[in-house]
Amino acid sequence: MGYYSGSITLDFDGTNCEKQMMEKLLQMMEPEAEWEWTLPVNEDFDFYPTTALLGSLEKGDDGKYYIPYGIPQYTLAPKLFAALFPASKFSYSIILEYSVTLDDTPYLTAVYEDSKLMMRDSRLYGSGDKEKIAEICRKMIGTDSKAREKYEQALEEAGCEEDINWFFLLDGLVNDPYEMMASLYEYRKVPPSRNTEYENSFFTDGDLQEYLVGEQIKKHDTSIGEYIQQFSFTEEQIQKFKTIAAESNFPDFTDLML
């Protein structure tokens, strides 16, 4: 049994209200966080924290949260981000290196802009990509003397070309081997979406979006009205927002709803 490590990046462009809500969301997605998520995110992990960025969480009998065994549902997070913040734009990536092997390491890249979510679910060191990477390396070897020197060194160490690790050679030939490997895969358009089961795995106190709005109202955030108007909240939810505003002495909130 192994464990996951890797990296997460998130560049988020939105209103100050949306940024605060996103940071709050990231914090909620790691229920047992001992540190604060802040934007922009650029973190490397030797051992991933228990975060819903990797998919639905599970709560054990001991009350602690766990990442379920099996393949993580890492595409759920960017779909949720786009659904909750439709007027924003962001770029997001996550790499999940498995301690047992680097073969077929998941590398998700998501870009959201102009209300369109594009995702590329690629594999690093993909088992079916070896010859494609070898061909990329051979082209570089044929035109770059330094690349040729590194190839000859790799050939000497391997004994024959068939035994060369082309992925490791690529690492010495280009500045961003991950992007080169990922470029063998295509982006696809994905609809933003919320998944109730997923959201309930890390937040169980009602509706997630309703809660995030309520927290901004408590801060007397005058831009929250602009956010609310993007969605078809029910009359019951609107009344809840007004109640929260009244209880937190936010007298201008009703005017924001007009």
**Does residue 188 sit within a domain?**
no
Q: Which DSSP string do the residues of 216-247 spell out, in sequence order? A: HHHTT-TTHHHHHTTS---HHHHHHHHHHHHH
**pLDDT tens readout for residues 187-241:** 999 999 999 999 999 999 999 999 999 999 999 999 999 999 999 999 999 999 9
Q: What is the pLDDT of residues 137-158, one digit of tens each?
A: 999 999 888 889 998 998 888 8
> Is residue 142 domain-shared with residue 52, that is, in the same domain?
no
Q: What is the pLDDT of residue 69?
A: 76
Is residue 194, in this structure, part of any structural domain at all? no
Q: What is the span of the domain harbouring residue 150?
A: 138-177
pLDDT digits (tens, 9 = 90+) for 156-175: 888 888 898 999 999 999 99
CA angle 205, 16, 231 (to 5 degrees): 55
Burial string for 113-149 (b: 16+ CB within 10 Å, else e) reads eeeebbbbbbbbbbeebeeebbebbeebbeeeeebee
- The total number of structural domains in the chain stands at 3
Bridge partners (DSSP) listed for residue 124: 105
What's the burial of 86, exposed, middle or buried (CB within 10 Å: 0-12/13-18/19+)?
Answer: middle
Residue 258, pLDDT > 60, answer: no
Peptide bond into 251 cis (omega under 30): no
Q: Is the pLDDT of residue 16 over 60?
A: yes
User: Are residues 86 and 115 located together in one domain of the fold?
Assistant: yes
Q: Is residue 187 in some structural domain?
A: no
pTM here?
Answer: 0.92
Digit-coded pLDDT (tens) for 106-118: 999 999 999 999 9
Return the pLDDT at 63: 86
Residue 186 domain-assigned (yes or no):
no
